């Protein structure tokens, strides 16, 4: 039903209808069921509202999903989004997806976004918007989009627009040509814009084997330059342990509540959050005595170990490697015992290929090499 005063089209689902739909749904390979709610397009609608019983979205439920499909976008809502204490005792909650009002944005931001879609997604109780954020419960979203002929589709991304109108890159934002939509994952609901970012650096022209990878990841906001005064990337520079951890966390879209950190990582450090997430998720255990050595340059085997742990945490590394998988490399014997399985798994999975029949496990990793690895992981 369209409310002509607000421009909202409202659809309701009952608890019994949702329960019945889940009972008849087929689980995927992970045992997760998805129920789809298709809301038909209505002329002159600027927003679509789904009225849903609160019990359906309480964390005591399983990790099943409700897929809300509208002409503005498709949002996949986990059924464990809220704790019971966060919800009203009875009644329902409204999920809203709307074309966002961009009139309050500054002119520069408006110009950058252009005529690309901007949506707003949020929950409402008794007509009042309520905040939602949960680092452990990601929400997947997609926005229909037709790229222009001049747009390199790999450089299409997503921006989160905060309450102050500032733009923040959403690292997972990408264009999916098979669905004709821009997809992203978020752990909080807000305004999101489809964006196009074309970035290069003046010192990567001689790195043809890494140039595109660097540019694509820079467009996503995953990697950045190394100077505030010059447009440089420093492709041959070694990368530190903290910078690598931060890149890995951004590339994989990892989130967690940072409850503690390493003793040598200060709250004011630009990498504090990402290193804290890596620690929280067990991706890195540091170097002992709750130290991380954030500014030390990372070796290739340290890099590979951290990477394998991160991928395994996300079930994105299916290969189980053994020392035998490394026999083809002349320097396999130089790999530290703690790193053998991780290095072997990445080799078996095709993420690490080596150079000149070597893996160079004890050497430092340079920024261009890391960009290529991150690009492979991003597209995995």
pLDDT at 85: 76
- 210 touches 372 (CB < 8 A): yes
Neighbouring residues of 65: CB distance < 8 A, sequence distance ≥ 6: 32, 33, 34, 35, 76, 77, 78, 79
pLDDT for the residue numbered 321 = 86
User: In the predicted model, is pLDDT for residue 60 greater than 70?
Assistant: no
What is residue 61's predicted lDDT score, i.e. its pLDDT?
61
Q: Residue 57, SS3?
A: helix
Whether pLDDT at 260 is above 90: yes
Domains of the chain: 2-196 (2.60.220), 211-378 (no CATH)
- Residue 313 has a pLDDT of 86
Read off the pLDDT of each residue in 364-370 and give the average, rounded to a whole number.
96
Q: What was the pLDDT predicted at 58?
A: 85
Check pLDDT > 90 for residue 70: yes
Residue 335, pLDDT above cutoff 70: yes
In this structure, of 158-167, 309-318, 327-336, the range with the lowest mean pLDDT score is: 309-318
φ and ψ of 341, to 5 deg: -65, -40
Asked if residue 38 has pLDDT above 80, the reply is yes
Is the model's pLDDT at 59 over the cut of 90? no
Instruction: Please tell me the predicted confidence (pLDDT) of residue 1.
Output: 82
The pLDDT, as a whole number, for residue 89 is 61
% pLDDT > 70, the chain = 98
Task: Please tell me the pTM assigned to this model.
Answer: 0.92
Q: Could you tell me the pLDDT band of residue 52, with boundaries at 50, 70 and 90? A: very high
Q: Indicate if the pLDDT at residue 93 is higher than 90.
A: yes
pLDDT top residue among 178 and 354: 178
pLDDT at 314: 87
DSSP-assigned letters across all residues of 230-275: S----TTSB-BHHHHHHHHHHHHT---------TTS-TTSTTHHHH
**How far is residue 260's CA from residue 246's CA, in Å, rounded to a whole number?**
16
What is the pLDDT at residue 153?
98
Nearest to 242 by CA among 282, 291, 292: 292
Mean pLDDT of 105-132: 95
Task: Determine contact, residues 378/316, Cβ cutoff 8 Å.
Answer: no
Confidence of residue 30 (pLDDT cuts 50, 70, 90): confident
Q: Which of 59-63, 125-129, 222-226, 297-301 has the lowest mean pLDDT?
A: 59-63
- If you average pLDDT over every residue of the chain, what do you get? 94
Q: What angle do CA 224, 227, 230 make, to 5 degrees?
A: 110
């Amino acid at each position: 039903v369209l409310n002509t005063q607000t421009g909202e089209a409202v659809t309701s689902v009952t608890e019994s209808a949702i329960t019945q739909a889940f009972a008849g749904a087929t689980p995927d390979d992970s045992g997760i069921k998805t129920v789809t709610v298709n809301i038909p397009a209505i002329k002159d609608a600027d927003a679509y509202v789904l009225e849903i019983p609160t019990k359906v979205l309480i964390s005591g439920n399983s990790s099943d999903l409700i897929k809300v499909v509208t002409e503005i976008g498709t949002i996949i809502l986990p059924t464990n989004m809220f704790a019971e204490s966060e919800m009203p005792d009875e009644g329902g909650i409204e999920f809203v997806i709307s074309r966002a009002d961009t009139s309050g944005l500054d002119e520069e931001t408006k110009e950058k976004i252009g005529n690309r879609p901007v949506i707003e997604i949020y929950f409402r109780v008794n007509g009042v918007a309520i905040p939602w954020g949960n680092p452990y419960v990601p929400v997947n979203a997609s926005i229909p989009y037709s790229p222009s002929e001049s747009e390199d589709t790999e450089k299409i991304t997503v921006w989160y627009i905060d309450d102050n109108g500032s733009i923040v890159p959403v690292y997972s934002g990408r264009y999916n040509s098979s669905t004709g939509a821009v997809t992203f994952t978020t752990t909080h609901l807000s305004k999101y814009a489809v964006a196009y970012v074309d970035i290069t650096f003046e010192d990567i022209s001689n790195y043809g084997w890494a140039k595109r990878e660097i540019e694509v990841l820079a467009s996503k906001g995953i990697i950045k330059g190394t100077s505030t005064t010059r447009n440089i990337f420093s492709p041959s520079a070694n990368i530190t342990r903290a910078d690598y951890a931060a890149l890995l966390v951004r590339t994989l879209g990892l989130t967690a509540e940072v409850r503690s950190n390493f003793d040598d990582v200060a709250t004011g450090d630009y990498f504090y959050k990402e290193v804290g997430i890596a620690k929280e998720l067990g991706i890195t255990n540091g170097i002992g005595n709750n130290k991380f050595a954030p500014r030390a340059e990372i070796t290739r085997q340290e890099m590979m170990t951290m990477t394998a742990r991160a991928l395994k945490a996300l079930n994105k590394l299916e290969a189980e490697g053994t020392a035998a998988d490394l026999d083809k490399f002349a320097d396999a014997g130089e790999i530290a015992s703690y790193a053998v399985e991780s290095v072997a798994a990445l080799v078996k999975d095709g993420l690490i290929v080596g150079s000149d029949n070597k893996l160079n496990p004890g050497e430092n990793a340079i920024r261009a090499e890391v960009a290529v690895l991150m690009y492979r992981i991003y597209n995995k």
